[in-house]
Chain A
Amino acid sequence: MTKLQAKNIVKTFDHNGNSVLVLDSINLNVEEGDFVCIVGPSGCGKSTFLNIIAGLEQPDSGEILLNGKPISTAGPDRTMVFQEGALFPWLKVIDNVEFGLKIAGIPKDERRLISQRYLDMMQLTKFADSYVYQLSTGMKQRIAIARALAMDPEILLMDEPFAALDSQTRDLLLVELQLIWERTKKTIIFVTHNISESVVLGNRVAVFKNRPSQIKKEITIDYRRPRLSEDENLQKYYHQIVQELKSEVKAQIKDEFQ
């Protein structure tokens, strides 16, 4: 069943008076339980696309269908791990993780159980009572992941969630996320600029073109799980995506230096 459908999404931004076309008709179908990775040059509109799916940003034209119905507002059924983390500095770590649960009116005991589980998973139990400023960037990023997972959403939107992590922690979480996905059969859309991350995680990798963005190519990665980033058999997918991206990154750099 098609879980999420992006139809002809177009988005322009006003940039000091000039209008800049960022997304130029994006089409993407995501099946229920699918794991889709999005890669593309910096500034091509990956975060913008996730924001539109989340309902935080409105497209100029086109629509997002969730279970066949157009979405209009933001909602807890599509939880986002923001690129900037976006934790609340006025709350303790544990209350950050429980935020969405509290809003949903889940009783405290139950919330504690859930938050404990995800804090454990992120190996941050010791920091449950800390405030956000007391954490490193990578720790913040893990809290943001715990917070999104705790919501148990239908669709998980992840915007470069592992970008700030050291490689050991990342490898650990790459496996962990695959296990979570296999266990819960969540639908995940995962943005990254790390190609090896995308081939480890994705059933499919959608390569975005340089601005104005379209999906240049979708590459299906049919390989057993859990995958490890050092697995030789993933190399061919890796190189295929590198090829697709090379010209785009060149175009992007040229763009920015003009």
Chain B
Amino acid sequence: MIQNIISKKNSFANLDDAANVVLSLAVFIGVWQLVFMLGIWPKIALPSPLIVAESFAKIILNHTLLQGVGVTLGRLLVGFAISFTLGMLIGFTMIRFKGFGKTLNSFSAGLLSFPSIAWVPFSILLIGFNDLGILFVVIMSSIFSIMISTYGSIRNIPPIYLDAARNMGAKGLSLFSHVTIPAAAPSLIVGIRQAWSFAWHAIIGAEILMSIVGLGHILSVGREFLDMGQVIASMITIFTIGLLADRLLLFKLEEKVRRKWGLDYHR
């Protein structure tokens, strides 16, 4: 019964959401068309929605878009997986060795706000103008966020949970997997989301400057050929992928954890 009411509420909310999205999109495209018709910018600097749609069709039909998306996502996933695994491991080590953790935490905080693009020249000279170089930029841009949030989330676990678990015989690995990780989860996921978005910034930036394939490259080709249609089409693709990845994966995960904990019941 309660379940029923809740799911009903959810489906209404979903409908509402969908209607809002469609409406906002319509308004956006309408305003865009209007500005286009006012003729403030020349057509080459600001094409109409229709011209952009044509560019879209062009890069879809000649397969550059699909290939670009594939390459970019492939790199992103590999880079993020490495940065996730390594970042977590380093984060755990920081917890284990307190002095090391404290030092590395301040150090990483500095690097957290370091712009990802600024890693590019370093990476080109250190590793080269290749896939590995791009991976390096992605990893360096996201790993500190993973490290810091792993370290911070674990340190902020209320001691009573650890006490209760130890009191019931948990220690070492069982304490870690049954208590430390789930207790840290809500804030850990926030850090992972942030790292993901840093990685996403980094891959596009790196591809613009150091790649001959990928979404970033399609964007940069558009600029070279003064093809604003293509530029905007790739921007829309980048936006959509970023949004979908966050909403369908990370945001969903965060919501699920928050619901379980009852964190959505703030009044």
A interface with B by C-beta (< 8 Å): 51, 54, 56, 73-76, 78-80, 82, 84, 86-91, 99-100, 102-104, 131-134, 147, 151
Contact = CB atoms under 8 A, between A and B. Distances in A.
A151 B169 CA distance: 10
B185 A90 contact: yes
Contacts of A88: 161, 164-165, 179, 182-183
Given A99-B168, A103-B168, A131 B261 contact: yes
The 6 nearest A-B residue pairs measured at CB? A133-B262, A76-B169, A100-B168, A86-B164, A90-B182, A74-B166
Nearest to B169: A76
A147 B160 CA distance: 15
A75 B169 contact: yes
A56 B168 contact: no
A86 B160 contact: yes
Nearest to A101: B168
A73 B167 CA distance: 9
19 contacts: A51-B163, A56-B166, A56-B167, A75-B167, A75-B169, A76-B169, A79-B167, A80-B164, A80-B167, A82-B163, A88-B182, A89-B261, A89-B262, A90-B183, A99-B170, A103-B165, A103-B174, A103-B178, A131-B261
B182 A82 contact: no
A79 B113 CA distance: 46
Contacts, number: 70
B163 A86 contact: yes
B260 interface: yes
A82 B160 contact: yes
A202 B170 CA distance: 30
A103 B165 CA distance: 9
Interface in B247-267: 257, 260-262, 265
Given A88-B165, A88-B182, A103-B174, 13 more contacts: A51-B163, A74-B167, A76-B167, A76-B168, A79-B167, A79-B168, A84-B160, A87-B164, A88-B179, A89-B262, A100-B168, A103-B178, A131-B261
A104 B182 CA distance: 19
Contact of B262 (A80, A99, A132, A151): A132
Contact of A133 (B165, B171, B261): B261
Nearest to B264: A133
A111 B236 CA distance: 53
Q: Which of B161, B164, B171, B185 has the most CB of A within 10 A?
A: B164
A131 B257 CA distance: 12
Interface residues of B, number: 22
B124 to A, nearest CB: 44
Nearest to B168: A100
B261 A90 contact: yes
Contacts of A84: 160
B161 A99 contact: no
Q: Which of A74, A78, A132 has the most CB of B within 10 A?
A: A74
Interface string B184-209: 01000000000000000000000000
A235 to B, nearest CB: 36
Given A90-B185, A132-B262, A134-B262, A99 B163 contact: no
B178 to A, nearest CB: 7
A80 B167 CA distance: 7
A73 B163 CA distance: 11
B265 A133 contact: yes
Contacts of B164: 80, 82, 86-88
A102 B161 CA distance: 16
A61 B267 CA distance: 47
A78 B164 CA distance: 11
Q: Which of B166, B167, B265 has the most CB of A within 10 A?
A: B167
Interface string B140-169: 000000000000000000001101111111
A89 B178 CA distance: 12
Contacts of B261: 89-90, 131, 133
Contacts of A86: 160-161, 163-164
A75 B164 CA distance: 10
Nearest to B175: A103
Nearest to A86: B164
B262 A54 contact: no
Contacts of B257: 90
B49 to A, nearest CB: 47
B165 A99 contact: yes
Nearest to B163: A56
A56 B178 CA distance: 18
Nearest to B166: A74
